[in-house]
Structure 1
Amino acid sequence: MVLDGLKKRLYLLSFIDEFAPMYVLFTLWFNDNGISTADLSIVFIVWSILGLVLELPSGALADIVDRRRLLGAALALRATGIGIWLISPSLPALIAGAVLWSMHDALASGAREALIHDELDAIGEAHCYGVVMARIDQFNKLGLAGSTFFAAAIIGLGASIEAVGWINVAVAGVSVALVLHLPDVQWVTTGDDASVRRGWWATLRAGSLAARRNPVLLRLLLMGSTISGLMVVDEYIPLLARLNGASNATIPLIVFVVWIGLIVGGELAARRPDISSSTLASLVLGGTATMAFAIAIESPWALMAIGVGYAPVQAAWIIADARFQAAAPSTTRATATSVRGFGAALISAAAFAIVGLLAQGDDPTAGLHWIVGTLALSAFAIPATVPKRAPTASAKS
């Protein structure tokens, strides 16, 4: 019963946190205000670089302070960034909002996974982490899918993109409240500022070393970084759909189908957590081929097939993450996860740079083909990288 209650709270939080109708429209909002695809790519690069700078120190911070408050602060920063975009849809405001969102990403990276693992461990259910995270991911994507459908509906009724954005900000406030009311597992040692600073440096060092010295953990880290870093195709779907003739009211529906693909990927990970690595690799290869085909066809409706391609890639990410968390030491889990996030941010920055460099006007097609091709190549490494089961960390240290 305790597990069921915790899962319900986590699933509700996951849904509300990602119920963000502005996600699918913000690139259009800025494009309508004179921001080009190349400008957007530059901002995405700044976003990723700042994430690189903040990723590791924020992960270490999440190993020594209350992770609930850290996540609450992260969500508040993201909402503030969206508010800045709405107030001033200019390039400086886009950069400012991206900086705040990057701070959110860094603070939440590692802290979120570690918090959920700790919540389960506190009730003796840590072995359920993989399946619970798969379900949480599904509720994340249900929130995204629901919000894109909502955005399409109210845009179709005549609402402006700006109005959709302010609804997004209001919903974000609910997410903050839900995070702060999660159960307190009370594992963090309190102390004065000096002891916290010493603990932060020691935790940062220990977590980074753990990620490098454990071969299984290191391989899973590299694979997780690659998959996460290259899953940026959806960032450009609204622009690509518009270039292919889709209207503002239709674009959210196209993205809605892509989110459904991610939900299907989560279902696969939940039902088949022990799927063989070779089968998973084959599915990822098939998925990337489907994505490449969808991008190549100059039809907005063909872009829906990207959801089919995203499904196995999402499953691979969830399964690799579950085995990564099982192999990570508990007291430096957030830091080790942030090392993985650091790698993902580095790869994302490179991907955004390539899209920007290869863009023809507002058309990101050439760069997206490069990203999908690289993701396909990474599938060949899955059998050697993702074990059927990751060994549990030998000590909670």
Structure 2
Amino acid sequence: MFVAKLYAYAFVGEFILLYPVYTLLFIDTGLSVAETSSLFVIWSVTGMVLEVPSGAWADAVSRRLLLCLGPLLAGAGYALWILFPSYWAFAVGFVLWGAQGALVSGAYEALAYEELECLGHESRYATVMGRAESAGLVAAAASIGLATPVFAVGGYPAVGVASVLACVLGAAVALTLPEHRTPGAVTEGSYLAVLRAGIAETRRDRGVLHAVLLVSFVTAIWGALEEYVPYLGVETGVAKAAIPLLVLVVWIGATAGGLLAGRAQGMSARAYALTIGGAALAMAAGAVSGHPAGFALIAVAFGAFQLAGVVADARLQERITGPSRATVTSVAGLGTNVVTLAVYMAYGAASSGLPHGVAFAVLVAPYVLIALLAARPPTPAPVQ
């Protein structure tokens, strides 16, 4: 029952009908690519500022509480976009959306791992989280399918209302999640003590630090580039109405990657590195092809990156031994936000002088270095 609730939370959190069309909303409002990139930067900076403090809050107070508050903030942001479509309303909405991401990040993984541990099923974490990621992607795909007819009937207001209702439902699901722990008990309830303990574990244990860095880089680059996939679709010359279908192909690939993550958890460091490197090559080849068929390669790449990200997160959770699990996970989230911000800024700068396909190829190049880092055998976990 607990796992089913995790899947439901992940599904509802991505069943946002605004997702497939909000880029079009920005375009119709008159925003340029650079302005849209600046919104992504605002989103990333908000998450960066709030990530670790919210993780410590989850450890000191309640992870379930943060999982409830997060969707409500995002829903408020989506309502602003529809009611007052303008650059500044979009900016405030991205602040609220960024806050939602920070509240959920760390809290969700920590609650999932420790509740599975209470049930004696912590070894299933990668499988469960991979399926949860896939549930979210299925929801996103379903939102694409529904967004078109709903948008045709009611325009942006209709998809906006549906998105806000999904956020409210997500908050309700969060309230049903169990939390068998005493918040802050190990650190006597002190927020600062929880925060210090999490940061200290990240710095002290080289295995944890290595896992944190791997999670940050593996998930951030392709996650940031996902926002620009519609522009890549426009560059192929297909009709605007067909672009959501190309995005759907990419999400199908990422969904498959999540479903395979559990089986891949035990792969060797070399196989893991080859997975990352191969995904980067597939992404670059598909992007520069300039043809709709290239999206098949991009889908394969997204699937491999999704798999690699889930496996990296599972290995991080296995290495965390202290009481500040959400805080340590949020440190990885902070790293993800830093890298994501760098990608947004780089893409915004590159978009004025490079085709979108070439920009994709250039920005996945760092995965070669990440693969070399991942090929190194991990430091043995400390004996407990």
After TM superposition, is the score higher than 0.5? yes
1:277 is aligned to 269
Displacement after TM superposition at 1:368 (Å): 2.3
Displacement after TM superposition at 1:335 (Å): 0.6
SS at match of 2:238: coil
2:9 is aligned to 13
Aligned equivalent of 1:170, options 143, 146, 165: 165
Displacement after TM superposition at 1:386 (Å): 5.1
Q: Deviations over 1:240-265 (max 9, x none)?
A: 22343334432221111111111111
Structure 1 CA distance for aligned equivalents of residues 65 and 382 of structure 2 = 27
Structure 1 CA distance for aligned equivalents of residues 52 and 27 of structure 2 = 33
Displacement after TM superposition at 1:54 (Å): 1.2
Displacement after TM superposition at 1:293 (Å): 1.6
2:175 is aligned to 180
Q: Deviations over 1:204-259 (max 9, x none)?
A: 11101101111111111111111122121110011222343334432221111111
Aligned pairs for 1:186-335 (under 5 A) are 186-189=181-184, 199-231=190-222, 232-335=224-327
Structure 2 CA distance for aligned equivalents of residues 320 and 151 of structure 1 = 33
Structure 1 CA distance for aligned equivalents of residues 96 and 205 of structure 2 = 33
The reply on whether 1:340 has 2:332 as its aligned counterpart is yes
Structure 1 CA distance for aligned equivalents of residues 168 and 351 of structure 2 = 36
Amino acid at match of 1:249: A
Displacement after TM superposition at 1:196 (Å): 9.7
Displacement after TM superposition at 1:380 (Å): 2.2
- Higher deviation after alignment, 53-62 or 125-134: 125-134
Task: Give the alignment's TM-score, normalised by structure 1.
Answer: 0.90
Displacement after TM superposition at 1:119 (Å): 1.8
Aligned equivalent of 1:45, options 37, 41, 47: 41
1:114 is aligned to 110
Q: Deviations over 1:270-299 (max 9, x none)?
A: 223212221222222222111112211223
Structure 1 CA distance for aligned equivalents of residues 56 and 258 of structure 2 = 28
- Higher deviation after alignment, 294-303 or 45-54: 294-303
Taking a change above 3 Å as real, the CA distance of residues 301 and 360 of structure 1, as seen in their structure-2 partners, is farther
Contact 2:7/2:135 (8 A) holds in 1: yes
Taking a change above 3 Å as real, the CA distance of residues 244 and 166 of structure 1, as seen in their structure-2 partners, is farther
Runs (5+) with no aligned partner, structure 1: none
Structure 2 CA distance for aligned equivalents of residues 118 and 238 of structure 1 = 38
SS at match of 2:190: helix
Runs (5+) with no aligned partner, structure 2: none
Contact 1:25/1:238 (8 A) holds in 2: no
Contact 1:290/1:308 (8 A) holds in 2: yes
Structure 2 CA distance for aligned equivalents of residues 242 and 211 of structure 1 = 42
SS at match of 1:21: coil
RMSD: 2.3
Task: Give the alignment's TM-score, normalised by structure 2.
Answer: 0.93
Give percent identity, aligned residues only: 33
2:24 is aligned to 28
Amino acid at match of 1:54: L
Amino acid at match of 2:115: E
1:374 is aligned to 366
- Higher deviation after alignment, 249-258 or 216-225: 249-258
Contact 2:264/2:311 (8 A) holds in 1: no
Q: Deviations over 1:336-389 (max 9, x none)?
A: 0111111111111111111111112895444322221112331222121657xx
Structure 2 CA distance for aligned equivalents of residues 32 and 385 of structure 1 = 49
Contact 1:225/1:344 (8 A) holds in 2: yes
- Higher deviation after alignment, 291-300 or 54-63: 291-300
- Higher deviation after alignment, 327-336 or 12-21: 12-21
Equivalenced residues, count: 383
SS at match of 2:241: coil
2:96 is aligned to 100
Q: Deviations over 1:124-164 (max 9, x none)?
A: 32232222112212212211122222224545x55524422
Structure 2 CA distance for aligned equivalents of residues 166 and 300 of structure 1 = 32
Q: Deviations over 1:50-100 (max 9, x none)?
A: 222111111111101111111110111111111111112211111101111
Displacement after TM superposition at 1:324 (Å): 0.3
SS at match of 2:370: helix
Displacement after TM superposition at 1:269 (Å): 1.1
